[in-house]
Amino acid sequence: MQALLFIFSCALALLTSFGAQAQEFRALARILPEASMLEDSGRGGAELTLALSQAVPYRVYLLDDPARVVLDFREVTWSGLAEGFDRSAHVTSVQTGRGDAGWSRMVLLLDTPMGIDRAAMQTDDTDGSAVVHLSLSRISDAAFADRAAEAPPGTRLPPIALSGSVASGRNDGLIMVALDPGHGGVDPGAERRGENEADLMLVFALELREVLLRSGLFDVMLTREGDWFVSLPERLTLARGAGADVFLSLHADAIASGIAQGATVYTLSDTASDAASQALAEAHDRADLLAGVDLAGNDDEVAGVLMDLARRDTAPRAHAMADRIVESFLAANIALHPHPRMEAGFSVLKAPDIPSALIELGFISDAGDLANLLDPAWRERVQIAIRDALLAWAAEDEARAGLLRQ
């Protein structure tokens, strides 16, 4: 018993030091000034290149009166950005700062209305650094006003302080949910009747984000916000960078033969529940392999023994979360697969320190499931069920953590 207790307290000590290390992994991204630049392009436009020490979630939008381009990053330190950074005649000033709720902001004040032709973040898989490219070109006042009206909700609130630094931290009591719309870009996922999984999951994730945010109890990040390719390891890096408390991957795959319908919730396991689950997990790795991403040994940045300990702690939490989702689906009368709780070796569920689950909302190969996925009312029922499941799970998880601390 003494020995057991000793081992247990060692494990706790290691977990504590893992916590400290996890904090370091969440260190702020830094701007890399020498590789960053803002300059004019042809026909009155401008090009922005921002090099960052690591990939972080970001958003870009326009604000009117005065005309501005706003880039929000979660979260970047701006120190080192030199005077000579802004060489554009059309950008009157560049302001940077940190706001509350974990966002860092860059505002480009424009001397003429410009639209965003292209905004993309490219990440370097070897060192995790990232480069944001933004192309701006001249548009009419009316077009600018239209686009500025599409700024994400919340961003039209009073502007965040842009000079000096405002105290910032994630201790806001919100549950940070990473939503991972499966597939995207060169990998459309399953396709049936002119619909594809990547697009359907993006729509679902954007709506789910709204449902979660509206409750006031969650913060949400998406691993992709458009139709582009994000590798599986990159999805985890983005989630960790945002300080995710939970990770939900969203899918609606097809089966090659036979009949399958209804929702399934997967958690990670080395041994798949059945051959179909195994095939599904392998299919999801295939897009990455085709895109040249090496998944072998890409078990996150956390060192071996710490990772095992973290997984030992995280796995039961993930199982509990998946169970709550299935229960919540049942309670909301959402069609479930005959075996709704399954396990398989999905690479995207391998974050050792973030409870993760993969939800197959249905099978795009089933006409009824596809009709559901295309039905906003059905989607909203599912989204509310997921919200309620996460709240039930979080309360239970907190109670469990409290017991462990005693």
Complex with Zn ion: residue 326 or 359, whichever CB lies closer: 359
Please report the DSSP string for 287-316 in residue order. Answer: HHHHTT---TT---SS-HHHHHHHHHHHHH
Query: 205, 178 in Cβ contact below 8 A?
Result: no
Q: Which of residues 332-361 bind Zn ion (CB under 5 A)?
A: none
Which residue in the shown chain puts its C-beta closest to Zn ion?
251
Q: Which range of residues in 99-107, 179-187, 219-227, 324-332 is near Zn ion by CB under 5 A? A: 179-187
Q: Which of 98, 147, 235, 251 binds Zn ion (CB under 5 A)?
A: 251
Integer angstrom CA distances of residue 50 from 79, 123, 136: 13, 12, 14
Complex with Zn ion: residue 75 or 288, whichever CB lies closer: 288
**CA 85 to CA 321: how far, in whole Å?**
46
Q: Which of residues 113-142 bind Zn ion (CB under 5 A)?
A: none
CB of 362 to Zn ion, least distance (A): 11
CB of 213 to Zn ion, least distance (A): 25
Query: 56, 32 in Cβ contact below 8 A?
Result: no
One-letter identity of residue 204: F
Q: Write out 210-230 in H/E/C secondary structure.
A: HHHHHCCCEEEEECCCCCCCC
Q: If binding is defined by CB under 5 A, does position 182 make contact with Zn ion?
A: yes
Q: Which range of residues in 8-16, 51-59, 175-183, 347-355 is near Zn ion by CB under 5 A? A: 175-183
CB of 189 to Zn ion, least distance (A): 5
Binding mask 188-207 for Zn ion (x = CB under 5 A): -x------------------
CB of 364 to Zn ion, least distance (A): 9
Q: Which range of residues in 29-37, 186-194, 214-222, 389-397 is near Zn ion by CB under 5 A? A: 186-194
Please report the DSSP string for 15-55 in residue order. Answer: HHHHHHHHHHHTPPEEB-GGG-EEEEETTTEEEEEEEESS-
**CA 244 to CA 64: how far, in whole Å?**
32
CB of 249 to Zn ion, least distance (A): 8
Q: How many helices, marked H, and strands, marked E, lie in the chain?
A: 8, 18
Complex with Zn ion: residue 107 or 236, whichever CB lies closer: 236
Complex with Zn ion: residue 374 or 401, whichever CB lies closer: 374
Q: If binding is defined by CB under 5 A, does position 234 make contact with Zn ion?
A: no
Complex with Zn ion: residue 177 or 200, whichever CB lies closer: 200
Total of chain residues touching Zn ion, rule CB under 5 A? 4
**CA 370 to CA 193: how far, in whole Å?**
9
**CA 210 to CA 153: how far, in whole Å?**
10
Complex with Zn ion: residue 98 or 183, whichever CB lies closer: 183
Q: If binding is defined by CB under 5 A, does position 209 make contact with Zn ion?
A: no
Complex with Zn ion: residue 186 or 395, whichever CB lies closer: 186
CB of 183 to Zn ion, least distance (A): 6
Q: Which of 180, 187, 225, 253 binds Zn ion (CB under 5 A)?
A: 253
**CA 193 to CA 191: how far, in whole Å?**
7
Complex with Zn ion: residue 45 or 182, whichever CB lies closer: 182
Q: Point out which residues pair with 61 in neighbouring strands.
A: 70
Q: Which of 93, 108, 89 shows the shortest CA–CA distance to 44?
A: 89
Residue 228: other Cβ atoms inside 10 A: 14
Q: Which range of residues in 11-19, 159-167, 220-228, 245-253 is near Zn ion by CB under 5 A? A: 245-253
**CA 215 to CA 105: how far, in whole Å?**
25
Q: Which range of residues in 18-26, 99-107, 253-261, 345-353 is near Zn ion by CB under 5 A? A: 253-261
CB of 264 to Zn ion, least distance (A): 11
Complex with Zn ion: residue 159 or 185, whichever CB lies closer: 185
Q: Point out which residues pair with 109 in neighbouring strands.
A: 68, 93
Complex with Zn ion: residue 198 or 242, whichever CB lies closer: 198
User: E strands along 324-365, which residues?
Assistant: 336-344, 356-360
The helix-helix angle for 376-405 and 197-214 (nearest 10°) equals 60
CB of 190 to Zn ion, least distance (A): 6
Complex with Zn ion: residue 142 or 275, whichever CB lies closer: 275
Q: Which residues bind Zn ion (CB under 5 A)?
A: 182, 189, 251, 253
